[in-house]
Structure 1
């Protein structure tokens, strides 16, 4: 199987993320119809090439939230599916930043990536709304994470 060089570099970058300590922070929810995977990490963890290819901002003061949605088939198979994704990151005193998610479609994999700023040793509450089916209510996801300047 041959890959286009850009696709190959993306696959390698995703593999690096999958097998790095960052994935220890990955979280997931499932209702039997959908699996929603989400995590947040410092944007400096991605390579400059991946950032440029996907129009993402790298900085030691920026983090990224990654969301992917899998539809679970009746036979248990899982397939990447589109969703409407929005969210915000709020500090302890309630100052919130709205997240604008960018859809990254790699054919058999779909990701929604949103970025936000943070300061050294900052605890943030990340709130996500993920709606795979526009005719059904969105899933609400909340998690707290502390960020450190890399």
Structure 2
């Protein structure tokens, strides 16, 4: 059996390639119909070539949020699907930056990338709204993450 046979495995392998050599914890939620993966990391972790190819800004004071949505098929396989993604990053003083997400379509994988600024040793609360089905309410995802200047 070929390791990269399923779209979900290819998606994760592609994400690992896109953001290599990152060592970050991936987070996800699932309701049995959709699986939403998300993570945040310093933009300086991506290579200049990846940044240029995808129109992303690298900076030691800028972070990226990566969101991908998989629809769970009847046979258990997972298929990347489009979604409406929005969000914000707020510091402890509740100063918020609205995130504008860019859709990156790599065939078998879809990513939504948003960016925001941070300062050294800053804890940010990241709120995401992810809506794979425009006729249903969005999923709300909230997580805190501390960022350091690279």
Q: TM-score, normalised by structure 2?
A: 0.88
The aligned residue for residue 59 of structure 1 is 59
In structure 1, how many angstroms separate the alpha carbons of the residues matched to 2:60 and 2:104?
22
Cα offset, 1:90, TM superposition: 0.1
Aligned twin of 1:44 = 44
After superposition, the CA RMSD in angstroms is: 1.6
Alpha-carbon displacement from aligned partner over 1:58-89 (angstroms, at most 9, x marks no partner): 00000000000000011111000000000000
2:121 and 2:147 in contact (8 A); partners too? yes
Q: Hey, what does 2:138 align to over in structure 1? A: 138
What secondary structure sits across from 1:52 in the alignment?
helix
- Structure 1 107/12 Cα, relative in aligned 2: closer, same or farther at 3 Å? closer
How many correspondences in the alignment?
Answer: 138
5+ unaligned residues in a row in structure 2: which ranges?
Answer: 1-12
SS at match of 1:21: coil
Higher helix share: 1
Residue 128 of structure 1, CA deviation: 0.1
Kept after mapping to 2: 8 A contact 1:13/1:47: no
Per-residue CA deviation, residues 10-40 of structure 1 (Å, 9 max, x unaligned), is x877426367412xx2100000000000000
Distance in 1 of aligned mates of 2:117 and 2:44: 12
- Cα separation, 1, equivalents of 2:81 and 2:39: 18
Question: For the residues of structure 2 that align with 1:143 and 1:111, how far apart are their CA atoms?
Answer: 19
TM-score normalized by structure 1? 0.88
- Output the CA distance in 2 between the equivalents of 1:112 and 1:64: 10
SS in 2 for 1:37: strand
Alignment correspondent of 1:101: 101
Find the counterpart in structure 2 of residue 4 from structure 1: none
Runs of 4+ in 1 over 6 A off after TM superposition: none
CA contact (8 A) 1:13 1:46 kept: no
